[in-house]
Amino acid sequence: MKSFWKRMRVYIVRSSLTTALLSRFIHGWLRLVWLTNRLVPGSDSVIERVGRGERGIGAAWHGQHLMFPCILPGGNTGAVMVSRSADAELNARVLELAGIGTLRGSGGRANDRKSAERGGARALIGLKKVLDEGKWVGMIADIPHGTPRDAGMGVVTLARISGKSIYPVAYQTSRRKVLERTWDKTTINWPFGRAALVVGDPVSVAPDADEAAMEAARLRLTAELERANARAAAMVDGNA
């Protein structure tokens, strides 16, 4: 049964018509969630920060990134790295429907051979160019099907070569479903409740950072993202 659904999933995401229909449905669902969940006091706004001239790298965990198309500003003001996998085609389509540019690749660890083969190095260079143009970028911090909620080195490398800080981003709703059997504990946010958006303390990386400094930045990003997600959950659950 598991292999059957795996084959079906591959078929669905490779069908251009099905992908187009699903991406529009998902985009509509995310808009419904965004518009019907009232942001609680103390929430941040990525869009307002960008409007004030702040630029950098927005980072979130796998499974907690699904609201990126609503959280991040559109209008050709930035871009998000999306995996080259067939499954990620839906993510790319939804982002593009929201007016957000995409670059295909795997962030992973910057010195990882598989990451390079998937276009990770090229994507990082592309994201740096976007940042150099005065725009923002978005990335998933942890590595696909790796250790969940453990930042990879790709986003840290981008911060080093671009001179831009990483901003941990977390969004949570009071009504939600956590898919416990998924590797990343994907959260499905439901409409008609309360929401919290938290932007954590920025993580900066010096351009001459050595291996030890890069690892320290990676660990700091992991801690800040965990803190931001815990804060967002506490705000909507009444435990803040």
User: pLDDT digit string (tens) for 53-71?
Assistant: 889 999 999 999 999 999 9
pLDDT tens for each residue of 116-159: 445 578 889 999 999 999 999 999 999 888 899 999 999 999 99
Closest CA to 184 of 66, 88, 60, 63: 63
What share of the chain in percent tops pLDDT 70? Answer: 88
What share of the chain in percent tops pLDDT 90? Answer: 70
> What's the rounded mean pLDDT across residues 168-184?
96
Could you tell me the pLDDT band of residue 181, with boundaries at 50, 70 and 90?
Answer: very high
Q: Which helix (H) or strand (E) holds 79?
A: strand 78-82
167 phi and psi angles, rounded to 5 deg: -110, 110
> What's the rounded mean pLDDT across residues 26-49?
96
Q: Which CATH class is domain 2-237?
A: alpha beta
Could you tell me the pLDDT band of residue 16, with boundaries at 50, 70 and 90?
Answer: confident
41 phi and psi angles, rounded to 5 deg: -55, 140
The token pair at 222 is 């992991």
Buried b / exposed e over 131-158, threshold 16 CB at 10 Å, is beeebbbbbbbbbbeeeebbbbbbbbbb
Domain boundaries, the chain: 2-237
pLDDT at 19: 86
Could you tell me the pLDDT band of residue 194, with boundaries at 50, 70 and 90?
Answer: very high
- Does residue 105 have a pLDDT over 50? yes
